[in-house]
Amino acid sequence: MSASETPLRPLPNPGVMDIAAYVPGKSKAKEGVKLHKLSSNESPLGASPAAIDAYKAEADTLEFYPDGASNELRKAIAETHGLNPDNLICGNGSDELLGLLAHIYLRPGDEAIFTQHGFLVYKIQILANGAIPVVAPETDLCADVDAILERVTERTRMVFLANPNNPTGTYIPESEVKRLQAGLPKNVLLVIDAAYAEYVRRNDYSAGVELVSDNENVVMTRTFSKIHGLAALRIGWLYGPAHIVDALNRVRGPFNLNSAAISAGSAAIRDRRHVDEAALFNEKWLPVVSDALNGIGLKVTPSVGNFILIHFPENDPAHSAEAADAYLTERGYVLRAVAAYGLPNALRMTIGTAEANEGVIAALTEFMGRA
């Protein structure tokens, strides 16, 4: 490049500015209207009282750096799930860990596969590392193992599988996940994102622990943002083979979790009563809301998470997802538009408090009854 061609300011790497930035769910309603935020799959029960106490206790020692290895938190996770703490790594949300995996294992020109309506962060991280995103079609809004395997090439280095998937709420059984892993070349990393695992009540489901334990090319990520109610603290964790955890530890930030997150997370995962209450609350309300909305003529994709995907009538502008979103927001019920996921006529709704759930049912019943 000649002097005359020298840029007048620093330029990002090629492709970075082509990435569509992740847009979180809305968090505001009309002024003066009570807000029911149902856009981010947060827990309606909030955090464990034990976690809140642990968080507050950290206020007396804010001058000290946190434990760079998150030993207390890894120990609590290991005890709860029967895992070896040496195979665990914690991150600033599971998003950080997903990004580190892409950074370490994807090079420019490599390919990485995710499903048609998979979590948007997968594509962002693939592109951010110069790799090529490959989309596998879903069947009935559910991951299709055959479609994924058909798209594996010599350039494939990673497969992202959200199980259960966000925003659809669907899942594939353990047998299908095993079939997927068995069909992948040994040098392809299977990333099982099990952010909603604690909510699943299906005998054929597995979060992926056994598959990780038995193989060298599988990792499982989890989060404290959902059932544990600690979204504000950004805590994620990964269970993986020693060689992958070792690689991650070499590139992560030296103090990537703060002290409050470590202490609150440790208390939260040990409070099994609170976790069970959150799961039971969701188990009660998930079918109530789904059945009620199906009953007024809307289509709800069967979900195993703490949210539902609501489909609105096609070719009916008066009752479209956009119109419903505006109608609900006006009344303080903030849901998640999912057009960015390729679902322009659907809204995702978190299972919220009893008041919020009943309010959405009433509002959408009124909305659908309008001429």
Backbone angles phi, psi at 41, to 5 degrees: 55, 40
**72/82 Cα distance (integer angstroms):** 15
> Is the domain of 218 the same as that of 163?
yes
pLDDT of residue 306: 98
Assess whether pLDDT exceeds 80 at residue 29: no
**117/107 Cα distance (integer angstroms):** 24
**Of 215, 159, 240, 225, which is closest to residue 195 (Cα–Cα)?**
225
**Of 161, 167, 76, 164, which is closest to residue 117 (Cα–Cα)?**
167
CATH code assigned at 83: 3.40.640.10
> Is the domain of 111 the same as that of 171?
yes
pLDDT of residue 122: 96
pLDDT of residue 17: 83
The predicted model gives 165-192 an average pLDDT of: 98
Assess whether pLDDT exceeds 80 at residue 152: yes
Dihedral sign of CA atoms 47, 275, 341, 238 in order: positive
> Is the domain of 248 the same as that of 335?
no
pLDDT of residue 28: 75
The answer to whether 220 and 194 are in contact (CB under 8 A) is yes
> Is the domain of 193 the same as that of 277?
no
The answer to whether 24 and 232 are in contact (CB under 8 A) is no
Model confidence pTM above 0.85: yes
Backbone angles phi, psi at 359, to 5 degrees: -65, -40
Assess whether pLDDT exceeds 70 at residue 40: yes
Packing angle between helix 354-369 and helix 272-295, nearest 10 degrees? 10
> Is the domain of 120 the same as that of 172?
yes
Which of 270, 294, 318 is the last residue before a domain boundary?
270
- 59: tokens are 């206020």
**204/89 Cα distance (integer angstroms):** 27
287-326 per-position pLDDT tens digit: 999 999 999 999 999 999 999 999 999 989 999 999 999 9
Query: What is the average pLDDT score of the chain?
Result: 95
The predicted model gives 209-231 an average pLDDT of: 98
The pairing of beta strand 156-162 with beta strand 307-311: unpaired
> Is the domain of 31 the same as that of 57?
no
> Is the domain of 17 the same as that of 35?
yes
- C-alpha angle 354-357-363 in degrees, rounded to nearest 5: 135
pLDDT of residue 2: 58
Looking from the CA of 75 toward its CB, the CA atoms found within 13 Å total 8
The pairing of beta strand 111-115 with beta strand 189-193: unpaired
Backbone angles phi, psi at 90, to 5 degrees: -105, 150
Task: Compare 61 and 21 and report the one with higher pLDDT.
Answer: 61
The pLDDT confidence band at residue 4, using thresholds 50, 70 and 90, is low
Burial state string for 41-65 with b = 16 or more CB within 10 A and e = fewer than 16:
bbbbbebbebbbebbeebeeeeeee
> Is the domain of 219 the same as that of 138?
yes
The predicted model gives 44-70 an average pLDDT of: 97
Assess whether pLDDT exceeds 90 at residue 14: no
Domain that holds residue 166: 49-270
- 326: tokens are 């505006």
**85/160 Cα distance (integer angstroms):** 24
pLDDT of residue 3: 55
Backbone angles phi, psi at 347, to 5 degrees: -130, 145
Which of 270, 296, 329 is the last residue before a domain boundary?
270
128-144 per-position pLDDT tens digit: 999 999 999 999 999 99
**Alpha helix ranges (H) inside 82-196:** 93-105, 120-128, 145-150, 174-183
Backbone angles phi, psi at 131, to 5 degrees: -90, 175
Length of the chain: 371
> Is the domain of 317 the same as that of 202?
no
CATH code assigned at 318: 3.90.1150.10
The pLDDT confidence band at residue 189, using thresholds 50, 70 and 90, is very high
